[in-house]
Chain A
Amino acid sequence: MKNQRFIVRTLSYLFLGVSSFIMIYPVLFMALGAFTTKNRFLEADILPIPNTFNVTLFQRALGAGVWDAYVFTLQRCAFYIVITLFVGLLGGYIFSKLNFPGKNKVFLLFLSGMVMPGILMLVPMYLLMAWFPFFGGNNWLGQGGHGLIGQWPVLFVYGWVPPFAIFLFKQSFDMLPSEYEDAAKMDGAGMFTIIFRIYGPLLKPPIVALFIVTFLGVWNEYLWPSLTIAGHPEFYPIAYRIQSVILSDYSPVGTTDYPALMVRTFLATWPPALVYFLLQRYFVQGLVASGLKG
């Protein structure tokens, strides 16, 4: 019996060690490759062994547009994180703690948004943006110009009512007893005070989970910007910008300066990884709690 358990544990470690290594191998290869010289990289057997920190490569990549993309993408991340948390908390509170006619119907309406894959909406959303009134030469009917297409607000106007955030916060509010707010109400606290001062500190796990989800979502966004803002590199989010930055030096055949390419992918991928490493405890807690009960 004891012998059998030992075997199971050993096999488990072996399996986990090998499989986890395979999972992170492509990314690890890239991260290590960013810190090697060209020749050393080509000598790699399984992983390239770092032997240099080539500042020039990093400077060149940052100067080629990565830095601008960092600034712009971080602005978008901040904007969407604030919107998501504010609307999510407000909506979650309304659906959880207030009682009013039509509540379940409106909640179902928002939930239906979670089933609809965003990818289906590409074409109609593109048209909605192209017909946006008063922008890009459009009249009040949205005709005559190209609307928001090719202008930076096109990356800021959608997704202000995030169904997933509302759902997650409703679930979290449901788990907190209403006695908290009754005491605050007697002291004359308004609704926003109740939401952000009383419940806010108690809702740290879902708030952090949504912070991460929103950050990753906005940071990694590629498809929508590639359709709507193409031709205006100063407004490219990082995932889209990095493509042109990489492909400028990439050739499918012949000698490619791989470390230079790895530096660029590294610059686009380290922030999501770092945010996840730092906050993953809350992430798992917050997401899983909602998903399993919903």
Chain B
Amino acid sequence: MGGPLLTALPTHCPPLYRPTACRVQKDTVNTPPHQPVLSPAPLSPSQRFGRWYRRRRDAIVAWTFLTPMVIYFVVMTFVPLAFLIGISFTEWNIISPPQWVGLRNLKTVFSSFDNWFYPRVIGRTILYAVAILTLNIAGGFFVALVLNQSLKGKGLFRTMWYVPSVFSGAVVALLLKIYLAGSSIGVLNMLIGNFGFEPVDWVNHHVWMPIIGVLFVVWQGIGFTVIFFLAGLQAIDENLYDAAKIDGANSRQLLRFITIPQMIPVLLFISVTGLIGSMQMWEVPKIITAGGPNYMTYTLVYSIQNDSFAALDMGMGTAQSLVLFAMLLVFIGWQLNQYRQQHGV
């Protein structure tokens, strides 16, 4: 592709730096240093500006556009983060001025206050996150393996697995609320009634409601996992399998020694993004249960919202946000570290 001019460009420049590096190269080719310049006439200011601009063109252009972007980004991301940290040291109900209380809010989050209320919220959130992430990754990997064969109608199945992810969590939670309605003619009760089961008061059921909550989050997120695992599987070099088959590997060994090791980068990507998602169950408590029954679905994110905007205790809301943020950072760091140790990078 390209004309003679393009192919004449030096190819030894690293691709990332090619535009600038090549331009500099061309100038030096045109005026070799050992040839004295015949008339070293002083440059006019505009010429000097022109030369400066040409030499620094990339940096000038880049920073002209990046400066507003960086300012905007910092104002919208790091200023709120600073607020978040600052407010967590105060007691504040938005209306009257904030009172400095030091570490009291953070201590409350980890204290035995109200029969270990907040530690239990955190523990519950981690428990659900582990359940969601496990189901999501195990299920998603299995479905991707099944879909990775040459089957007819594969695209249709993949679409059907992804469809739940395109809807608003709030809207499908609302739908779930309608389905779960407690009376005997509630939709789910009507359906199980057809098979001879007694109606269940789902929303107030201690065992069913947390399970439904976890399954709801998995249902909404697993399509994403399947798509990424599937792409990862398709990117594995076929030659690896052929070589192993010649050496007499059976299909279980192929999975154990080729497929899974090759999938580690995708697995890492999915577990980091999936973790962030699975720690944030809020649709079910906010729209269906209000944290009930008996706080069984009272998750950390719902607690943050509830304390901040219902109880108007901004200090507690932000303190819990900080705890959630710290947990996410620790988990992500731990996962990246595992990955590094396994791969020696």
Contacts and interface: CB of A to CB of B under 8 A. Distances in A.
B171 A46 contact: no
A140 interface: no
B66 A117 contact: no
Interface of A: 8-9, 12-13, 15-17, 19-21, 23-24, 26-27, 29-30, 42, 44-46, 87, 90-91, 94, 96-101, 103, 106, 109-110, 112-113, 115-117, 119-128, 130, 158-161, 163, 174, 177-179, 181-183, 186, 191, 216, 219-223, 227, 239-240, 242-243, 246, 250, 252-256, 258, 261, 265, 268-269, 272-273, 275-277, 280, 284, 287-288, 291-292, 294
A15 B145 CA distance: 12
A161 B69 contact: yes
Contact of B172 (A27, A101, A128, A191): A27
Interface stretch (B55-63, B115-123, B126-134, B240-248): B55-63
Nearest to A33: B187
Given A46-B191, A242-B174, A277-B159, A123 B181 contact: no
A42 B183 CA distance: 13
B9 interface: yes
A238 to B, nearest CB: 8
B332 interface: yes
A251 to B, nearest CB: 8
B138 interface: no
13 contacts: A12-B151, A20-B160, A23-B160, A100-B58, A100-B63, A109-B74, A115-B332, A117-B279, A160-B76, A183-B6, A261-B178, A287-B227, A292-B228
Contact of A291 (B63, B191, B228): B228
A108 to B, nearest CB: 12
Given A20-B156, A284-B227, 9 more contacts: A8-B149, A109-B73, A121-B77, A183-B3, A220-B168, A223-B305, A269-B172, A291-B231, A292-B231
Interface stretch (B44-52, B289-297, B317-325): B317-325
B276 A117 contact: yes
Interface residues of B, number: 96
B324 A220 contact: no
A99 B17 contact: yes
A119 B280 contact: yes
B80 A128 contact: yes
B269 A222 contact: no
B219 interface: yes
Contacts, number: 258
Report which residue of A26, A45, A122, A124 has the largest number of chain B beta carbons within 10 angstroms of its beta carbon. Answer: A124
Contacts of B19: 97-99, 178, 181-182
B197 interface: no
**Which 3 A/B pairs are nearest by Cβ-Cβ distance?**
A220-B168, A124-B80, A222-B170
Given A120-B325, A160-B72, A183-B6, A243 B174 contact: yes
B264 interface: no
B62 A223 contact: no
A202 B129 CA distance: 40
A183 B83 contact: no
B334 interface: no
A26 B179 contact: yes
B190 A183 contact: no
A221 B314 CA distance: 23
Contacts of B16: 96, 99, 174
B1 interface: yes
A43 to B, nearest CB: 9
